[in-house]
Chain A
Amino acid sequence: MTTRREVLQGLIVSIGGATALTACGGVANVLSTRPGSAARFYTSEEYALVTRISDLIIPRTETPGAVDANVPGYMDGLMTDWANNKTKNAHRTALRQIKVELDQRAGGNFLDASDSAAEQSLVSFDAAAFAEDGDTSGYKRVKGYVSQSYFATEDGATEELKWVAFPGRWDPSVEI
């Protein structure tokens, strides 16, 4: 398996940000400073944010993570090709609010935070969003896009979920 940095580098190349490769010292930093993003919908900062939180929500474990599976690219396509203007605007607004919340928790630019600080910020924010009436930013929907996109990719479906194309039989009672 390629390393996460290699995947991120590949992603950056694929979206036309080759000049940013020299800045691959820190994942968050690279993405937050990536110039000339070729994402079709996201601004470079939005793309960096989506990439960072996707990676934290579904990290690489023994199986590929959200970034390995190109979830940010998937979501960029979703917003470009599927969403109407209302959905696009709502998504941008949500990302803006999420960024504000995460910046506050990180005590600065979330995208520049260390891995552990970024993770702690999102853990805290996620918990608040899942408290009753706590999701004022639209975070849950963004998280839904991340997880739905991930499990719709070949990596997510086959490596993580062990999705079977042709079950061939019905067993209504399988002990876990």
Chain B
Amino acid sequence: MADFDAIVVGSGMSGGMSAKELTERGLKVLVLERGPEIIPERDYVDNLAPWESPNLDNVAQDEIAERYPKQYGGVAYAIKESNKNFWVRDDEHPYEEAEGTSYDWLRGYHTGGRSIMWSRQVYRLSNLDFNANKTDGYGIDWPIRYEELEPWYEKVETFIGIAGSAEGLPQLPDSVFQPAFELTDAEKALKAKVETTFPERNVIAARVAHLTDATEEQQSLGRSNCQVRNRCHFGCSFKAYFSSLNATLPAAERTGNLTMVHNAIVSSIEYDAETNRVTGVRIVDAETNEKRLYTSKVIFLNASTIASAMILLQSKSVAFPTGLVNRSDQVGRNLMDHVSGAGAAGLISGFDNQKVFGRRPSGGIYIPRYANLNGQDKPYLRGFGFQGGSSPLGNAGGRIAGIGRGFKEAHKNPGPWRVNIGAFGEQLPNPENRVTLHSSKRDRWGNPLALFHVTYSDNEHTMLEEASKDAVAMLEAAGCTDITANDVSLTKPGNRIHEMGSARMGHDPANSVLNSWCQAHDVPNLFITDGSFMTSAACQNPSLTYMAFSARAAHYAADLIADGTL
């Protein structure tokens, strides 16, 4: 008799959704979280005023060098003294990079995982994306198309809450929207000029997982509308932005079917060759080093693209000598992220008599992919979107000349309006880009360290060079001045924190790990619904897609349990 109907490994973006859907189907679910518990009322620091955080809320420079060199190097904008505990300490959680390569593995271990630190932009994939691999031959074909996923997008979006505007773009299907954060007048001017000059391009409001018209269901979970503070990286006491901690885990909790265990680091998954089923999860307690085994009828791996692959690779048996469900040798391969490092900024005139009220979270505008929409018409494959916005530059930080009353009061003036846009490009799947287990180095709990080997192809370099030119051209079209576009310098792999592809889905068990239900080809009661399943990366922020697939897989698994298959 199994301890639980289902074990969900990981409590972040996808694990929370898996847990919610499984528990709402009446299944008894154990969620294992490797980090400590975060209790919003105790641990969120969003209500600290600036003067309540010493040293400009900066982490001490020596502490950054000692404890957070990777994390801070990757996301300095998000790591502050008051919220540094949301990020792992690199000295406690090291990893290795193959010679000549580098990788940003940026993460937090606690309830909700990275869903409490994410940047909250959410976009659907379209058939442009689901057809991409088949069309150009990179990677393998997705075993699913948009139409099958659409109702799950709707279900998830209705629950999480997305502020955005319906645009009717085929390459970026509309979501279920709450009111968008309105564009600034400068952004509207940019939109008009860009869309006139480049008819195939669109400038739309960023689609963000913030409540702007909370539904009854959302309010019943203690969530309320965004207060427009832009304090999201510190948690949100209003639970206005979506995180599993703010929404899916409480929804799962109220079913009465959820058990949650913290500080449980999964070391391996148990497999029974006789029944060809996974039977349980072996963990080591992060605080006591106690080892335990939990058993269940089905297992959902939602530990994150990298951690899930590592758990599979650590789970060796006679039947799976190179790692669980790794007969295809694809576990850990095809590791993808999005790639940035090209964009432009400039000043836009005509708005000097304006300022804004409120601190809009999560950016302002999005320029959806416009490259290669109808056949191959660019010198690179696939495409990119731009994220950006326009806001007053402000004068803080002593950037302006003068002293005395004039200098002091200048800080109240918004200053010139600045536009900036930055590309998020698609990285092609490549089996040589992979995470493996380090052959000798282990962490303090005895698990092998991750070893990354990820490089970019010529396509990503060419794409970003072109994106840079496009960005400048759009700002020129908008009449911007003082346009700056730094030399294209690709972000490190991993830096966009959109890890994908380490256990891809496909039609053929010989070259893929999962089927279209995120179910392992080789073991029917194992599901993986974090970014691991992504067969290609598209160029859209992927969390929404993880959640849609998680909900779909959870219901499929529940059906299989109900009919006795599992």
Contact = CB atoms under 8 A, between A and B. Distances in A.
A1 interface: no
Contacts of A170: 181-182, 228, 356-358, 360
A157 B50 contact: yes
A161 interface: yes
B49 A168 contact: no
B356 A148 contact: no
Given A151-B411, A174-B357, A77 B55 contact: yes
Contact of B405 (A61, A81, A165): A61
Interface in B49-92: 49-51, 53-56, 58-62, 65
B229 A148 contact: no
A123 B403 contact: yes
A142 B184 CA distance: 33
Interface stretch (A10-18, A21-29, A82-90): A82-90
27 contacts: A65-B408, A78-B56, A78-B58, A81-B54, A82-B58, A84-B60, A84-B61, A84-B62, A87-B61, A126-B401, A126-B403, A140-B399, A141-B398, A145-B398, A154-B49, A160-B411, A161-B412, A167-B357, A168-B228, A171-B356, A172-B181, A172-B183, A172-B187, A173-B184, A173-B185, A175-B353, A176-B354
B356 A174 contact: yes
B401 A130 contact: yes
Contacts of B155: none
Interface in B374-416: 396-405, 407-409, 411-414
B134 interface: no
B357 A169 contact: yes
Contacts of A175: 353-354
B84 to A, nearest CB: 13
Interface stretch (A32-40, A41-49, A51-59, A106-114): A51-59
Given A81-B54, A84-B61, A154-B49, A173 B356 contact: yes
A92 interface: no
A117 to B, nearest CB: 14
Interface string A127-158: 10110000000001101111111011110010
A50 interface: no
B355 interface: yes
Interface of A: 56-59, 61, 65, 77-78, 81-84, 86-87, 119, 122-123, 126-127, 129-130, 140-141, 143-149, 151-154, 157, 160-163, 165-176
Interface residues of B, number: 48
Contact of A59 (B50, B187, B228, B408): B408
Contacts of B62: 84
A170 B50 CA distance: 20
B322 interface: no
Contacts of B59: 82
Contacts of A171: 356-358
A142 to B, nearest CB: 8
B185 to A, nearest CB: 5
A145 B183 CA distance: 32
A143 B228 CA distance: 30
A38 to B, nearest CB: 18
B357 A140 contact: no
Contacts, number: 141
A57 B410 CA distance: 12
A127 B402 CA distance: 7
Contacts of B408: 57-59, 61, 65, 160
Interface string B451-487: 0000000000000000000000000000000000000
Interface string B178-200: 00011111010000000000000
A56 B58 CA distance: 26
B93 interface: no
Contacts of A83: 60-61
Given A147-B396, A163-B50, A58 B407 contact: yes
Contacts of B405: 59, 61
A57 B405 CA distance: 8
B119 interface: no
Nearest to A172: B184
B359 interface: yes
A58 B227 CA distance: 31
A165 B228 contact: no
Contact of A127 (B56, B355, B401, B413): B401
Given A154-B49, A176-B353, A78 B55 contact: yes
Nearest to B360: A170
A162 B411 CA distance: 11
A140 B353 CA distance: 28
**Most chain B C-beta atoms within 10 Å of own C-beta, residue among A57, A65, A122, A172:** A172
B403 A173 contact: no
A165 B396 contact: no
**Most chain A C-beta atoms within 10 Å of own C-beta, residue among B51, B56, B402:** B51
A106 to B, nearest CB: 15
Nearest to A142: B398
A147 B411 contact: yes
Nearest to B179: A170
A161 B412 CA distance: 6
A60 B174 CA distance: 52
